Amino acid sequence: MLSFAEIKKSFLVSLWFMFLTFPIMVVRVNTIYKKVEWRWENMLLVGLGSFCLSFVWRYFMGRKESGRKNHQAAETEGRPSLKQRIMNDRRIYIPVLAAVSVFAAAYPFIFSLYQTNIMINALIYIMLGLGINIVVGLAGLLDLGYVAFYAVGAYSYALLNHHFGLNFWLALPVGALLGTIFGILLGYPVLRLRGDYLAIVTLGFGEIIRLVLENWNAFSFGPSGIANIPRPGLFGIKMSLGQSSIFIYFLMIALVIFTIFVVNRLKDSRIGRAWIALREDEVACQAMGIDRTKTKLTAFALGATWAGMAGVMFAAKTTFINPASFTIWESINILCIVVLGGMGSILGVIFGALALILLPEYLRAFSEYRMLLFGFILVTMMVFRPGGIISEPRRTYQFKGVEKQ
Amino acid sequence: MLWDFDYFVELFLAGLTRGSIYALIALGYTMVYGIIQLINFAHGEIYMIGAFTALIATGVLTLMGWNTVAILFIAAGLAVLYSSAYGYTLEKVAYKPLRKAPRLSALISAIGMSLFLQNYVLLAQTSDFLPYPALIPEFKWLEPWEHVVRSSQIVIFATTAIVMVLLTLLIKFTRIGKAMRATAQDKEMAMLVGVDVNRVISVTFIVGSATAAIGGVLIASHIGQINFYIGFIAGIKAFVAAVLGGIGSIPGAVLGSLVLGWTESFFTGYISSDYEDVFAFLFLVFILIFRPSGILGRSETEKV
């Protein structure tokens, strides 16, 4: 197994990384006290870490290579994957679904208010993840400014409430509608752009919205944000903080179920198939008579609708918003959910959101390393498992042969 | 208002300075894009790492009591060395395994790498702005014009011009330059006639990173402070410049950078500085809508 050549290779890799990280990891200059701090222990760590990682890396590389061949073989045989078999077997998925719904219903009563709030957060991210999944996962348009629509939703509730006293229930559809409108406004000019240009333009658009919110004090109250946004009410019943959190929790559950339902239906609809076709090959898709403009615009608009709605929920939940919540890193955070879970896969997105939002909450000690880890996840997922953890099976049709009579 | 000529010249030179730095970064984008059609999102981070390496080297050498000019050259040399090494490793780790994957995958991997490198520097060094020593000496002969142009600006213009000339020579007249052009035109055909495409790609990353590092050292000692975040926004702006000039075209990148530098400088000088970045992004959106191939780029039709 561990041949000499392998060890030598890893040793060279670790030497290279020790050299590479030397100035940044080892030396730290303190310009105020005129002192240089030498942290040699870091060099040792980098060396050891990269030595081990290079073995893991090559092991997975090898598996990926051989896996590709096996996968092709499996595909030609038409064997369903493990996930498909579970999903298709009623005896398994009905009890699982029942258990999950019982757990979800009991959650706020079992756990503390703090836990409930974290879960609400995770649910908002599930919604955002499912929304961006339409744009990135299904239609294959990399949108790095998704958070702009989230901001549109949040600010539309906050501002309409501040100026006109609009209540939450009216703001929810208004926020969604404004999200849609902004989605079309952004989608229209970028229709002609290909993947990488699109990414940069959407990133630019997201930053424009944030910078405008930050600088246009008369409109958005600038960096200090808007406070005292009312929480959602229910027929004027007075609720304590805890009760209202539980109410928001169930509201979010309902919205997430609604989202899952709609996205699932959309995915199998005519437009959903058009999105997937567009993702796979734009030219071939047009040649098949699919209207590219309409298809892309609906993807943008529908993706943005969910962000708008999630934004209203976010404003209602935190009761305070400012532009700092809507930076580009938030977009990348949401993107990371989809990439980790599996692009195009609903179950994957849910899993990704729960993993990426809940884990950092419970691993506070590592919170500094969160973004570092996200970067690492994005790269390694793309290299080793581009389909995500729970990848969506490709829709395949098979010619079973003509029946003999 | 009186037409203030000195103010105009000041803005013009400030724009030229910005443009030169954008050009040094934009070259890396354009060269990489020309060869593997990938936007190297982490390119701005390479520039930042160059600036940090130079800062660290300067700090250590200053405490050892070396003289400024020697420090400037050693620090710049180390910055170039390390940035190139990072660029090379970046390509090997994050892009090479994805050469045959869809472009979306490579792009996401690039974003991941950018995030990773930023946070790596943040955690290993600091999140504060670090003061950057003024390495470039004040020139005596420049004193009469001191109020409009600083000596660091002169150094920036000169260095940028020299780098451009050297790069053009490299691409036009050397063997590896020829291989680069061949790879940019048709990767498979180049492979067939015996060009080592992997090596060409590595060299492209190394050259692009080296120019970015030079930009990093120059701008850091001109502005006087750096932090881990400088690479991101500079990278985006340089990308705008590369697209403006026509991505894949080297003279285009320089022209686009200068145009962007000047427009930004005049915009902030005469209109408003709050919306400086908004303006750059709007500029990008308009270019991409009305002239997606850029000023010098050729429009290409998609082949099936």
Q: Does A320 touch chain B (CB under 8 A)?
A: no
Share of chain A above pLDDT 70, in %: 89
Exposed / middle / buried, residue A199 (Cβ in 10 Å: 0-12, 13-18, 19+): buried
> Closest approach of chain B CAs to the CA of A363, in angstroms?
17
Cβ neighbors of A159 (< 8 A, separation 6 or more) are: A219, A220, A226
How far apart are the C-alpha atoms of A190 and B284, rounded to whole Å? Answer: 11
* pLDDT, tens digit, 9 for 90 and up, residues A359-397: 877 777 777 788 888 888 888 888 888 777 777 766 667
pLDDT of residue B299: 57
Contact indicator for B235, B229 with CB cutoff of 8 Å: no
Top pLDDT among A40 and A194 is at A40
Q: In the predicted model, is pLDDT for residue B302 greater than 60?
A: no
Contact indicator for A280, A301 with CB cutoff of 8 Å: no
Contact indicator for B32, B90 with CB cutoff of 8 Å: no
Selection from A127-131, A376-380, B216-220 with the highest mean pLDDT: A127-131
Least CB–CB distance from B275: residue in A19, A28, A211 = A211
Q: Does B271 touch chain A (CB under 8 A)?
A: no
pLDDT of residue A84: 62
Contact indicator for A254, A126 with CB cutoff of 8 Å: no
* Residue A77 banded pLDDT, cuts 50, 70, 90: very low
The mean per-residue pLDDT over the stretch B284-300 comes to: 72
The mean per-residue pLDDT over the stretch A86-94 comes to: 71
* Nearest in space to A355 (alpha carbons), one of A342, A113, A365: A342
Coil, helix or strand for B30?
A: helix
The mean per-residue pLDDT over the stretch B234-250 comes to: 83
Structure tokens, A136: 């990135």
* pLDDT, tens digit, 9 for 90 and up, residues A109-125: 888 888 888 888 899 99
Q: In the predicted model, is pLDDT for residue B256 greater than 70?
A: yes
Q: Does A61 touch chain B (CB under 8 A)?
A: yes
Would the CB atoms of A372 and B116 count as touching at under 8 Å?
A: yes
Residues of chain B numbered 44-83 and touching chain A (CB < 8 Å): 49, 52-53, 55-57, 59-60, 63, 78, 82
What is the full DSSP assignment across A20-78? HTIIIIIEEEETTTTEEEE-HHHHHHHHHHHHHHHHHHHHHHHHHHHHHHHHHHHHHHT
* Residue A76 banded pLDDT, cuts 50, 70, 90: very low
- Summary mean pLDDT of chain B: 84
Q: In the predicted model, is pLDDT for residue A88 greater than 70?
A: no
Residue from A30, A356, A383 to probe the interface with B (highest B Cβ count within 10 Å): A383
Residue from B41, B58, B111, B288 to probe the interface with A (highest A Cβ count within 10 Å): B111
Q: In the predicted model, is pLDDT for residue A319 greater than 80?
A: yes
Check if the interface score ipTM surpasses 0.85.
no
Dihedral sign for Cα A257, A259, A262, A267, please.
negative
pLDDT of residue A150: 92
Contact indicator for A46, A18 with CB cutoff of 8 Å: yes
Residue from B60, B109, B302 to probe the interface with A (highest A Cβ count within 10 Å): B109
What are the C-alpha distances in Å from B136 to residues A184, A310, B75? 50, 51, 12
The mean per-residue pLDDT over the stretch B94-119 comes to: 86
Q: Which of A233-237, A387-391, B30-34, B251-255 has the lowest mean pLDDT?
A: A233-237
Coil, helix or strand for B277?
A: helix
pLDDT of residue B300: 57
Q: Determine the number of helices (DSSP H) and then strands (DSSP E) in chain A.
A: 16, 2
Q: In the predicted model, is pLDDT for residue B297 greater than 70?
A: no
pLDDT of residue B36: 83
Q: Does B125 touch chain A (CB under 8 A)?
A: yes
Which residue's structure tokens are 């790095």? A144
Contact indicator for B244, B287 with CB cutoff of 8 Å: yes
Cβ neighbors of A35 (< 8 A, separation 6 or more) are: A29, B63
Least CB–CB distance from B109: residue in A16, A201, A379 = A379
Q: In the predicted model, is pLDDT for residue B294 greater than 90?
A: no
Top pLDDT among B125 and A274 is at A274
Q: In the predicted model, is pLDDT for residue B142 greater than 70?
A: no
Share of chain A above pLDDT 90, in %: 13
* pLDDT, tens digit, 9 for 90 and up, residues A186-206: 888 777 777 677 888 888 888
pLDDT of residue A385: 81
pLDDT of residue A86: 64
Strand segments (E) across B156-303: 225-226
Give the number of other Cβ atoms within 10 Å of residue A211's Cβ. 18
pLDDT of residue A70: 62
